[in-house]
Amino acid sequence: MRRRAILLALPAGALWRSGHALPPAQLRFPRDFGAHPDLRTEWWYATGHAAAGSREFGFQLTFFRTRVDATQQMRSRFAARQLVFAHAALTDVQGQRLWHDQRIAREGFDIARAAAGDTDLRLRDWSLARRADGYHARLAAAEFALELRLAPTQPVLLQGEQGLSRKGPQAVHASYYYSEPQLAVDGAVTLQGRRLECRGRAWLDHEWSEALLHPQAVGWDWIGMNLEDGGALTAFRLRREDGSALWAGGSLRPRGGAVQVFEAAQVEFVPGRRWTSPLSQAAYPVEWIVRTPAGAFTVRAVIDQQELDSRGSTGAIYWEGLSDLLDGAGRRVGRGYLEMTGYAQRLRL
């Protein structure tokens, strides 16, 4: 596909609903930091690692917005036209334990918000908002809390073809997608009543789509890795029920360099050691060999038990966890998050 950028004259998703693929778009900021309610599915996904003295933590905060088609023509202010979900998790590395929580509510009534124009997300007492000095995340769960600032140190990274990312062999399966890697983290983690000041690095993804998953796709495997030399590595694959790759992609941006976009045939995920969840009985590969045009790497979970049960909100059970990126000599060259969906059950968006 040749690179091109056009301004959208129709509302986002209108062309797809008439049987066409999402058109290329010229992403504009800060507008596209905000919500796109005309498209069906959207998420803002912040992950990272932070140290508080000798203690290490991984953290995840994700806000989801989904359009409810059945209520779009209703005039009642009580109609749930948009739903907002949120997931949060804290990996206690020394304690070898994952803590997580979830929320769901209809948008409006001063309870839930996914604002257009800039990142401004709220679900009851959880929030993620972009300000002049970075993203501010605040949430309080039953056993843990996060109060973090994620400050950009690099420009926005447009994934795929200038922000349009293919997710299948047909162009109709695609999303608008950008990342903000190498975010500088400062703030506090509270675990079981103990507040710990911390610093670290984070990664933020924002993705929105009308039709993301191909009918044959049961889930995906994805990594977003902040490299220790300042670069950023993304790789993903959509997976069929038999475990084979339906589609793949990713990118490498060296520190200060141009983005190298990976073609589908250039990315390979080879599963290694597996961990079986006592909750779902799903067997997750917690070690991978990931081959890309930028090289072959080992991805290794920092702890095995990082499965999240979100059946109380999105309905999915998935694995999302802090992981290391190793080179061919076994040296750590990056750290970030590995996500695996569709192992406990087919993923449905």
Q: Which residues in the chain show pLDDT less than 70? A: 1-20, 69-80, 349
**pLDDT value, residue 72:** 57
> 286 CB contacts (<8 Å, ≥6 apart)?
273, 274, 275, 300, 301, 304, 319
**pLDDT value, residue 225:** 98
Residue 221 CA, distance from chain mean position: 11
**pLDDT value, residue 9:** 32
**pLDDT value, residue 21:** 82
**pLDDT value, residue 239:** 96
Q: Which domains does the chain have, with CATH numbers?
A: 26-340 (2.40.370.10)
* Helix H or strand E encompassing 319: strand 316-326
Report, in angstroms and rounded to the nearest whole number, the Rg of the chain calculated over CA atoms. 19
Q: Which amino acid is at 57?
A: F
* Token pair listed for 61: 């905060």
**pLDDT value, residue 316:** 83
**pLDDT value, residue 193:** 93
**pLDDT value, residue 12:** 39
